[in-house]
A and B are shown apart, each in its own frame.
Chain A
Amino acid sequence: MPLDKATVARIATLARIRVPEEELESLAAEMDKIIGWVEQLDEVTTDDVPPMASVVDVELPWRDDEVTDGDCRDKVLANAPEKVEGFFAVSKVLE
Chain B
Amino acid sequence: MAQARDGLAKGDFTSVELTQAHIAALEASRELNAFVTETPEQALEAAKASDARRVSSNSGGGEAGSMEGLPIAIKDLFCTEGVLTTASSHILDGFTPQYESTVTANLWRAGAVMLGKTNLDEFAMGSATVTSYYGPTVNPWRRSGDDKKLVPGGSSGGSAAVVAARAALGATGTDTGGSIRQPASFCGIVGIKPTYGRCSRWGIVAFASSLDQAGPMTRTVRDGAIMLGAMAGHDARDSTSADREVPDFEAALEKGVKGLKVGIPEEYQMKGMSPELLALWDQGKAWLTAAGAEMVPVSLPHTKYALPTYYIVAPAEASSNLARYDGVRYGLREEGETLQEMYENTRGEGFGAEVTRRVLIGTYVLSAGYYDAYYLKAQKLRTLISRDFREAFDKVDVLLTPTAPSPAFAIGEKMDDPIAMYLNDVFTVPASLAGLPAASIPAGLSGDGLPLGLQLIARPFDEETMFRAARAVEDAAAFDAEPTLMAGDGS
Contacts and interface: CB of A to CB of B under 8 A. Distances in A.
Contacts of B360: 8, 11-12, 15, 17, 27, 31
A80 B330 contact: yes
Given A16-B343, A46-B377, A55-B434, A41 B308 contact: yes
B377 A41 contact: yes
B342 A82 contact: no
B359 A60 contact: no
Contacts of B377: 41-42, 46
Contact of A79 (B331, B337, B338): B331
A81 B346 CA distance: 12
A54 B240 contact: yes
Interface string B351-367: 10000110111011001
A38 B311 contact: yes
Interface string A39-71: 111111010011111111000110100000000
Contact of A17 (B240, B359, B383): B359
Interface residues of B, number: 69
B328 to A, nearest CB: 6
Interface stretch (B24-32, B90-98, B169-177, B255-263): B90-98
Contact of A50 (B98, B331, B340, B383): B383
Given A11-B367, A31-B360, A81-B333, A55 B196 contact: yes
Contacts of A43: 305
A41 B342 CA distance: 37
A17 B91 CA distance: 12
A37 B419 contact: yes
Given A56-B435, A79-B329, A91-B342, A16 B347 contact: yes
A16 B326 contact: yes
A20 B348 CA distance: 9
B109 to A, nearest CB: 20
Contacts of A18: 344-345, 347-349
A90 B328 contact: yes
B419 A17 contact: no
A40 B309 CA distance: 9
Interface in B296-331: 302, 305, 308-309, 311-312, 319, 323, 326-331
5 contacts: A15-B363, A16-B326, A42-B377, A50-B380, A79-B329
Nearest 4 A/B pairs, CB to CB: A55-B435, A18-B348, A51-B379, A79-B330
